[in-house]
A and B are shown apart, each in its own frame.
Chain A
Amino acid sequence: MISLAGITGSRPALIGVVVAMIALLGIPAFHNGYIEIVFRNILMYAALSYGWNVLGGYTGYVSFGQVAFFGIGTYCSAVLSSHGITNIGAGIALAILVNAVVAIVLGIPILRLRGHYFGIATLGVALAIQDLAANIDALGGTSGLALKQFDESQFFWYYYAMWAVAAACLLVTWLVARSKLGYAFVAIRENEDAAVVLGVSPTRYKVIAWAIAGAMAGAAGAVFAPANGFIDPSIAFEVDNNVFPIVMTLLGGIGTVAGPFVGALILAGVNEILQRFFVKIHTLFFGAMIVLVVMFLPRGIVALIGMRGGWRGFRRSLGAYRV
């Protein structure tokens, strides 16, 4: 039984996220390029996670191909840059437009597939688009494209642009969750066939969900590209950018509004800290951490924040998925 409040997720977590976002506005004041990069990446991962969450969390269609849209977004900015247009807003707008079109065109055949098959098809799309980018000389082929960057004194604009993208993703997710659109998505997730009977046209809504997901990922990519200064197929379609949003959303709390952000913050944060203290084996600890968190907090961290019953409630929750 879905309580309507359950669609947006835990209220305290949501408030926490908004507070955190406001706090993050202050990062450029530290004038430390490294810290700016760290938090800019967290915001980027948050945006990617929100994108995945709309399709995977709310609509229930697990996509392994979000990185395709991210990559397309980076190339949009890169192509504009090579024609002299370095306005970040232009890059974002183009990325959203192109990705929406791609999502609609690809969505119609691919969204007919269900469950696992849909997932693999999206993976295939991501791989294929990466291959195409690597083979088309006009897009730089495997050598990629360099982008004109702002100078050091103007560099913080990239941070704010990414913040704006992440904030927009958060807002859109919240609005969608409370709107008819959100209910339609959840209806499809819970029982697609019943939804059809009740008059919800699944293809239309699934395509909308995918377009939103693609737009979010693309916008993040459009800001990432000039901030990084250079993209090639391996950077634009980096496997991590495919897997991390899923991991982050799951850890944070899937199908909630606060989840993706919390997951991005925690995962990226822990990764940074591990890197600092365990230069050689940080990946090993990272893997161990994920294993432990999933074993003991399968419903995500946001669920932990909303959990009642203290320690005993926690212990009881451990048995939920065992056999």
Chain B
Amino acid sequence: MNFRRIAVFAALAFIAVFIAPAAPAPAAQDTILFGSPVSLTGALTKEGHLTQEGYEFWKSYVNSHGGIKVGGKTYKVDIKYYDDESKNETSAQLAERLIDQDHVNFILGPYGSGTAFTVAAIAERKKIPMVEGNGAAEKIFSQGFRYTFGVLSPAKRYLEGIVELGREKGAKTVAISAASDAFSLEVAKGAADYATAHGMTVVYNNKYPNDATDVSGVVTAIKAANPDIILNAGHLQDALLIHKALKEQSVSAKAYGYSVGPDTPDFVGALGKDANDVFGGAQWSDAVKYKADHPGFYDNAKDYAVAFEKVYHHRPDYHNAESSATCLAFEYAIEKAGSLDPDKVRDALAALDVTTFYGILKFDSRGLNVYKPMVVNQIQNGTLVTVFPTGLAEKKPIYPAPPWGSR
């Protein structure tokens, strides 16, 4: 056995497998192919799967209801996924692969602001429209990209509703802690700006490292500032750490709000009773009272939620909904454009103005959906209910939250 020959063979085989473009997928006639890099492994696995569920749910609905009408023909829909391992550059690479190798027609966005940004840059360069529903950082939309659209409300709005709710109830001081990533910082800044603009005082506004394993220092400082409202812009792990630390150091506030956490069942699961009365900012909840003004999908949030739960055995959260809404934007734009030409679809997206189960889908000149309000949810007795804005609420908010000692 001459290892050298084996090595040479192996090397050649390698390069061959590589360069041979992926076997032309039986791009079935009359199929619109979407491509999506999602985080199926890595730190954002959970959210990546939620995103994929939302896309798949829409796909099976559309395919079982005749497909999408383009011009005179009806097309079926297919979606190709790759795992970006929750990494920004991987997402970008995969987007290139989807476009150059798999020849997808359009891109459905990944999960997360960092990944969405890098994929948007690729979409722009290749002039392929991309719609995303899971990256809310405004920097994605301040680069002058014309081919990227986001159906979700911008990051800075995430905690505004909670601040407003508190303000209406007489709260005067706010403390904000943020993780050190672009999205969380934008959320924190939005909340701080809103509070100051409406006559409240921000008594604490600092950030902590992304991989913090202990946030007691942050909580100690917040305790010293004695705020009415305690807000956190971070991720599930931080939300858990902070909430536990707040209890440990007996820091009671009139309201607690987290940008990420309360909406996931994991939050209640991990905190039990301590999760009660916590507010969360959400892009959507299944209690919102929108009524779709365009046929072709579920009429309202409740119908969507019931059907979704039948398939996936869990209540849909806003990540599912915004992903389905992402696809809807494409569906309606393609129908309106009457063609699969990227530029025509792009223009149709820019002009879109439709109400769906998720809310209004309309984009400003930067591609951002500033027209849809955020909702505020609250955990009451272990269940998540929508409490704000009043027009969309299903229950009244509990304010102030009872102090720690008396729970």
A229 contact from B2, B81, B93, B118, Cβ within 8 A = B118
Do residues A142 and B182 form an inter-chain contact, with CB atoms below 8 A? yes
Do residues B83 and A279 form an inter-chain contact, with CB atoms below 8 A? yes
Among residues 41 to 85 in chain B, which have CB atoms less than 8 Å away from a CB atom of chain A?
41, 81-83, 85
Asked if A86 CB lies within 8 Å of chain B CBs, one says no
Do residues A276 and B83 form an inter-chain contact, with CB atoms below 8 A? no
A240–B84 Cα gap in the complex (Å)? 13
A238–B43 Cα gap in the complex (Å)? 13
A contact residues around B85 at 8 Å (CB):
283
Among residues 1 to 35 in chain B, which have CB atoms less than 8 Å away from a CB atom of chain A?
1-4, 7-8, 11, 14-15, 17-19, 21-22
Do residues B40 and A279 form an inter-chain contact, with CB atoms below 8 A? yes
Among residues 80 to 107 in chain A, which have CB atoms less than 8 Å away from a CB atom of chain B?
none
Among the stretches A47-55, A187-195, A197-205, A300-308, the one at the interface with B is A300-308
B contact residues around A314 at 8 Å (CB):
3
Asked if A33 CB lies within 8 Å of chain B CBs, one says yes
B97 contact from A34, A131, A146, Cβ within 8 A = A34
Asked if B336 CB lies within 8 Å of chain A CBs, one says no
Q: Nearest chain B CB to A266's CB is how many angstroms away? A: 8
Asked if B143 CB lies within 8 Å of chain A CBs, one says yes
Do residues B4 and A142 form an inter-chain contact, with CB atoms below 8 A? no
A contact residues around B185 at 8 Å (CB):
141-143
A181–B285 Cα gap in the complex (Å)? 66
Q: What is the interface size of chain B, counting residues whose CB is below 8 A from a CB of the partner?
A: 45
Among the stretches A35-43, A57-65, A111-119, A160-168, the one at the interface with B is A35-43
Asked if A310 CB lies within 8 Å of chain B CBs, one says yes
Among residues 136 to 170 in chain B, which have CB atoms less than 8 Å away from a CB atom of chain A?
137, 139, 143
Q: Nearest chain B CB to A149's CB is how many angstroms away? A: 7
B contact residues around A238 at 8 Å (CB):
87, 89
Interface hub of A142, A146, A151, A307 (most chain B Cβ within 10 A): A142
Among the stretches A206-214, A243-251, A267-275, the one at the interface with B is A267-275
Asked if B394 CB lies within 8 Å of chain A CBs, one says no
A contact residues around B83 at 8 Å (CB):
275, 279-280, 282
A30–B100 Cα gap in the complex (Å)? 11
Do residues B82 and A144 form an inter-chain contact, with CB atoms below 8 A? no
Do residues B7 and A37 form an inter-chain contact, with CB atoms below 8 A? no
Given known pairs A12-B4, A283-B85, the reply for A144 and B99 (CB within 8 Å) is no
Q: Nearest chain B CB to A26's CB is how many angstroms away? A: 10
Do residues A35 and B18 form an inter-chain contact, with CB atoms below 8 A? yes
Asked if B181 CB lies within 8 Å of chain A CBs, one says yes
Could you give, for residues 115-137 of chain A, a 1 whenever the CB lies within 8 Å of some chain B CB and a 0 otherwise?
00000000000000001001000
Given known pairs A143-B182, A276-B22, the reply for A34 and B96 (CB within 8 Å) is yes
Asked if A32 CB lies within 8 Å of chain B CBs, one says yes
B contact residues around A228 at 8 Å (CB):
89, 92, 118
A37–B92 Cα gap in the complex (Å)? 10
Q: Nearest chain B CB to A297's CB is how many angstroms away? A: 11
Given known pairs A232-B114, A234-B88, the reply for A146 and B143 (CB within 8 Å) is yes
Asked if A311 CB lies within 8 Å of chain B CBs, one says yes
Q: Nearest chain B CB to A144's CB is how many angstroms away? A: 7
Asked if A230 CB lies within 8 Å of chain B CBs, one says yes
A30–B14 Cα gap in the complex (Å)? 17
Asked if B105 CB lies within 8 Å of chain A CBs, one says no
B contact residues around A20 at 8 Å (CB):
11
Q: Which residue of B lies closest to A10 (CB)?
A: B4
A283–B40 Cα gap in the complex (Å)? 10
A contact residues around B100 at 8 Å (CB):
32-35
Asked if B209 CB lies within 8 Å of chain A CBs, one says yes
B contact residues around A141 at 8 Å (CB):
185
Could you give, for residues 90-102 of chain B, a 1 whenever the CB lies within 8 Å of some chain A CB and a 0 otherwise?
0011001101110
Given known pairs A37-B96, A134-B180, A229-B118, the reply for A235 and B18 (CB within 8 Å) is no
Do residues A142 and B180 form an inter-chain contact, with CB atoms below 8 A? yes
Asked if B117 CB lies within 8 Å of chain A CBs, one says yes
Do residues B92 and A279 form an inter-chain contact, with CB atoms below 8 A? no
16 new A-B contacts, CB < 8 A, other than A34-B99, A280-B83, A283-B41, are A20-B11, A32-B100, A32-B101, A33-B126, A35-B21, A38-B18, A41-B93, A134-B180, A146-B143, A229-B118, A232-B114, A232-B182, A269-B14, A279-B83, A280-B41, A305-B3
> Measuring CB to CB, which residues of chain B are less than 8 angstroms from any residue of chain A?
1-4, 7-8, 11, 14-15, 17-19, 21-22, 40-41, 81-83, 85, 87-89, 92-93, 96-97, 99-101, 114, 117-118, 121-122, 125-126, 137, 139, 143, 180-182, 185, 209
Pairs across A and B, CB under 8 Å, 12 listed: A16-B11, A32-B21, A33-B99, A35-B21, A41-B93, A155-B125, A230-B117, A234-B88, A234-B181, A276-B22, A282-B83, A310-B3
User: Sorted from nearest, which 7 A-B pairs have the closest CB atoms?
Assistant: A34-B100, A34-B97, A229-B121, A33-B100, A143-B182, A310-B1, A34-B101
